[in-house]
Every structure is written in structure tokens, then in C-alpha cells.
Amino acid sequence: MTGMNNSQKTFSPRIVIHGAGNVGRRLIRFCQLKGWDIVAVLNRAGDKVGMDIGELAELGTDIGVSVQDWELVDYQSLGADIALIATTSDMLDVNFPVYEKYLRAGINVLSHNTQAYNPRFENPSVAKKIDALAKSQGVSFTGSGIWDTTRLWAGIIAAGACVDVKEIVHFATAEIGRQGAQWEEDIGVGLTVEEFQKKYAKEPNSLSIFLHSPAVIVLQKIGCTVTNVHKSIEPVVFEQDVFSPFSERSFPAGIVVGTRLKIDVETEEGIFGRVRVEYRLFQDNEIEEISWKIVGMPGLEITVRRDDTANLSASSLFNRIPDVLSAPPGIVEIFRMGPLNSTALL
Ligand SMILES: NC(=O)c1ccc[n+]([C@@H]2O[C@H](COP(=O)([O-])OP(=O)(O)OC[C@H]3O[C@@H](n4cnc5c(N)ncnc54)[C@H](OP(=O)(O)O)[C@@H]3O)[C@@H](O)[C@H]2O)c1
């Protein structure tokens, strides 16, 4: 673990932001808001390299820190406490070369890439390498993002009130474009129903790669061992035309506007997990809703309504910084930490 002062008044971590995209830019703004030290912002080669981070994050003034090419940096000399990783891929194996640079340099890693929420379940062999490397350098590895509070801890807290659990059910309706217009195409928006079915019969839909995770994590937190995960996927269509403010395109009635996923998780203990989610375009005045229904004794439902999801995703990652800096070495998943704490007074 790298050094930091636990006193609230002097909490001032030295931060690297890796990936200067949508999330990375918001992280820069949050660091500026707190007055926390950004020691470097790294990106892959391209237009962003060389740009002042004040310009990149539209702060209205230059900061005197320029984006650097991640492959040309001496990580040992960064002097950072923590690296916030927000690269394009959500896969642990793709991002491992990035994680490795920081862990080898004795820098804690907090990743926004979706598989990082639960590395030991998602990719045991890469997780083993991350864990061993982190432990050898005395630093920790954690994944967080918008799921932290809205999908994971919401479910853990609901189940936590029950003395018996038969089934946990996760429902969600999310407006896909809020986290980047590119996601619309990724989940089949604009295809015909036939094109959708043909496409996703051959290749995994990117949502289906990840969305078992909320149920798996809540079940693991209860103490279950997951034995089987079954997924099925359907197109979502509307009976009326709809306009996306993100891709600035109109889609006629009958054309695919999103993906509906049904995921069933089985456990050794006989407690079932179910995920029923729609990621799609929204019609006027719809709001994102996420809920957990715990079937058991006495059972409980928790509903979360999310609005500013782009900032929520970055702020959820950002607010894990104190927990990561005080975590023991190795992989420490957010479900082994407590619920998120605000950084309002830090
Ligand atoms: N955990 C969650 O709850 C959650 C929620 C939403 C999103 N996400 C994930 O968070 C990540 C970041 O999202 P985003 O919207 O910020 O994506 P983005 O706008 O595409 O930004 C990614 C940035 O990373 C850069 N990059 C890619 N590979 C790199 C590498 N190996 N080293 C350095 N820089 C690299 C890209 O460079 P270019 O300039 O060349 O493109 C781009 O600037 C994605 O994986 C996304 O799926 C997670």
C-alpha cells in the first residue's frame, strides 16, 4: 500500500488517470473540484496526446499537465498513489498490460472496466496474475463504476435485511446512449429484427458478456457458490418512431431500439438469481429504473432511479479512492468493502 494520510483535512492522493475519454475527462474535473493532485493523464497514441488536460476536460484554463502516450512513460518515476483506469475495453485480459505497468511500479489500481468488478469470477487466470503481482508490490486492485451503488450494493443491502432468501431478481431499464452514442450500435439499435437475431446468434451482444455480474455478486456476498449461468437475448422494438438525442438519429417503428436480456443464475445452495434488463432508447419522459426484489423472509424491494448516469459512473469510481488506498494488498472487490462513502468533505 502506498502512503497516504488518513486525516480528512490532509487527504490528498496523487492520481494518474489512464484513458482520457468520456470517463477520464470527468475524473479530471472531479480532481480539480477537490484540489487533488493529478500527476499524469495517459492515453494511447493519437490526437489527445500532448493536449493540456484543462483543454481536454473543458475547464476553461490550462492546467500545465499534458496528456502522455502510455507506452512512453516511466511508471516508476510517476510517484502516484493510485491509477484510475478508464480505457476502452471492459475485458480483463485486454487491459492486463495496462494494469501490469502500475502494479509493477507499486501503484494501486482502481479500474472502471466492467470485468474488474469481479475478476476472480470473470477471468480466474488473469485474476491470479493481478492478485499475485499486487501482493508482491504491496498494492491493491479494485473495480468500480456506476454499478457499485446502483446495481451491486443496492442488491446486497436488500438481501442483507432478509433471514431467508429463495431468489434475488434484478430488473433494469437503462438508456444506452447516455454513456456514449457508440453503445447504441453495439447493442443492435437500428437493425431489423431479423438482422438482430442473425447477428447475435453468431456473436455475443456486449451486454450479455457482463450483465450476469450483478446477480452473481449479490449471491456471492450472501455466501453462495455459482454453478450455472444461462442467458437469452431478444430485440426491443417500439410501435412508434423514436429519436435518439445521443446519436441524433430517428428510428422508425418496428426497427430494433435495444436489447432485452434474461439471465438465470443457479447456485449450489439452491438460491436463484434472475436478471431481467432492457438497454434501449427511451421515449419522452422515461427515467432509468433499477430494482432488486428479494424473495424470502421477509423479502424486500429496493428501487434506484438514476438520472445523470455519465457523471454517476465516474463519481462512483472516484469515491472509491479512499477505500482503495486503505485496502490490503491484492484484489479487493467492492463487495468486500462497505457501501460507497461520499467524498463531500474530503
Ligand atoms: N464500470 C462501470 O460501471 C462502467 C460504466 C460505463 C462505462 N464503463 C467502461 O469504462 C471505460 C471507459 O469509458 P469511456 O466512456 O470513458 O470510454 P471512451 O470515451 O472510449 O474513452 C476511453 C479512452 O481510453 C483510451 N484508451 C484505450 N485503450 C487505451 C490504452 N491501452 N491505454 C491508454 N488509453 C487507452 C482511448 O483512446 P482513443 O483516444 O484512441 O480512443 C480513449 O481516450 C469503458 O471500458 C467503458 O465500457 C464502465
pLDDT tens string 190-225? 999 999 999 998 888 888 899 999 999 999 999 999
pLDDT at 49: 98
Q: What is the pLDDT of residues 24-36, one digit of tens each?
A: 999 999 999 999 9
90 C-alpha to ligand 1 centroid (Å)? 8
Write down the pLDDT at residue 4: 43
Give per-residue pLDDT as tens, 100-136: 999 999 999 999 999 999 999 999 999 999 999 999 9
Q: Which residues pair with 236 in a beta bridge?
A: 258
Q: Is 124 a pocket residue for ligand 1 (Cβ < 6 Å)?
A: no
* pLDDT reading at 7 higher than 60: no
179 Cβ closer than 6 Å to some ligand 1 atom? yes
Query: Quick one: which atom of ligand 1 is closest to the CA of 25?
Result: 16
Q: What is the pLDDT of residue 205?
A: 84
Place of cell 438481501: 159
- Beta carbon of 20 within 6 Å of any ligand 1 atom: yes
- Please give the pLDDT value at position 290: 93
Triad 85, 336, 81: Cα angle to 5°:
40
Residue 88 — φ and ψ, nearest 5°?
-75, -40
pLDDT for position 306? 84
Q: Can you give the pLDDT at residue 10?
A: 80
Task: Please identify, by atom number, the ligand 1 atom nearest to the C-alpha of residue 116.
Answer: 1
Q: Exposure pattern of 104-120 as b/e (b: 16+ CB <10 Å)?
A: ebbbbbbbbbbbbbbbe
Q: Residue 241 above 80 pLDDT?
A: yes
Evaluate the CA torsion angle 96, 98, 99, 100 in order and state its sign.
positive
For residue 299, what pLDDT is reported? 98
What pLDDT score was predicted for residue 273? 98
- Per-residue pLDDT averaged across 147-156, rounded? 97
Asked whether residue 177 carries a pLDDT value surpassing 70, the answer given is yes
**Whether residue 272 has pLDDT greater than 90:** yes
pLDDT confidence band for 1 (50 / 70 / 90): very low
Q: What mean pLDDT is predicted for residues 132-157?
A: 98
| Pocket flag, ligand 1, residue 112 (CB < 6 Å) | yes
Per residue in 279-327, pLDDT tens? Answer: 999 998 898 889 999 999 999 999 998 888 889 999 999 999 999 999 9
**CA 113 to centroid of ligand 1, rounded, Å:** 8
Residue 178 Cα to ligand 1 midpoint, Å, equals 14
The mean pLDDT value of the chain amounts to 95
Q: Which amino acid is at 79?
A: G
Q: CA separation (Å) from 203 to 60, 113, 196?
A: 43, 20, 11
Please, are residues 2 and 76 in contact by the beta-carbon 8 Å criterion?
A: no
Q: Is the CB of 115 under 6 A from ligand 1?
A: no
Residue 151, pLDDT > 70, answer: yes
- 240 has pLDDT over 80: yes
pLDDT > 90 fraction of the chain, expressed in percent and rounded:
88
Q: Which atom of ligand 1 is nearest to the CA of 94?
A: 31
CB of 180 shorter than 6 A to ligand 1: yes
Which of the listed residues 18, 73, 87 should we mutate to test ligand 1's pocket, taking the one with most ligand atoms within 8 A of CB?
87
From 237, 235, 231, select the one nearest 199 (Cα to Cα).
235
Which of 3-7, 69-73, 185-189, 336-340 is predicted least confidently? Answer: 3-7
Span from the CA of 199 to the centroid of ligand 1 (angstroms): 24
The CA-based diameter of the chain, rounded to the nearest angstrom, is 59
Ligand 1 pocket residue status of 23, Cβ below 6 Å? yes
Q: How far is the CA of 257 from the centre of ligand 1 (A)?
A: 24
Backbone angles phi, psi at 145, to 5 degrees: 165, -160
Region 180-189: mean pLDDT is 91
Q: Are 276 and 262 in contact (CB under 8 A)?
A: yes
- C-alpha 329/C-alpha 219 separation (Å) is 24
